[in-house]
Amino acid sequence: KYMTCFALFVDVFYKISSYKIYLPQLIEKLHIFINILFEIKFIIFNFTENYEFSIFKNLLDF
């Protein structure tokens, strides 16, 4: 009985330690993903802004 309890404890401890190892990597990957999303949003926003600006400029030219 004590051995199975100990084995369970070791198993849980091992899982927690492995999560602790993986957590920073996960956070880092999530951070990179969020940065990429922001970059894409920024590029799209700039593109649409420039596109609208060029249309506006063309209207002013007429």
Per-residue pLDDT tens over the stretch 28-47: 888 889 888 888 888 777 77
Buried b vs exposed e over 10-42: b needs ≥16 C-beta within 10 Å?
eeeeeeeeeeeeeeeeeeeeeeeeeeeeeeeee
Residue 57 burial class via C-beta count within 10 angstroms: exposed 0-12, middle 13-18, buried 19 and up: exposed
pLDDT of res. 45 = 74
pLDDT of res. 53 = 67
For the whole model, what pTM was predicted?
Answer: 0.42
pLDDT of res. 44 = 72
For the chain, give the percent of residues with pLDDT over 90. Answer: 0
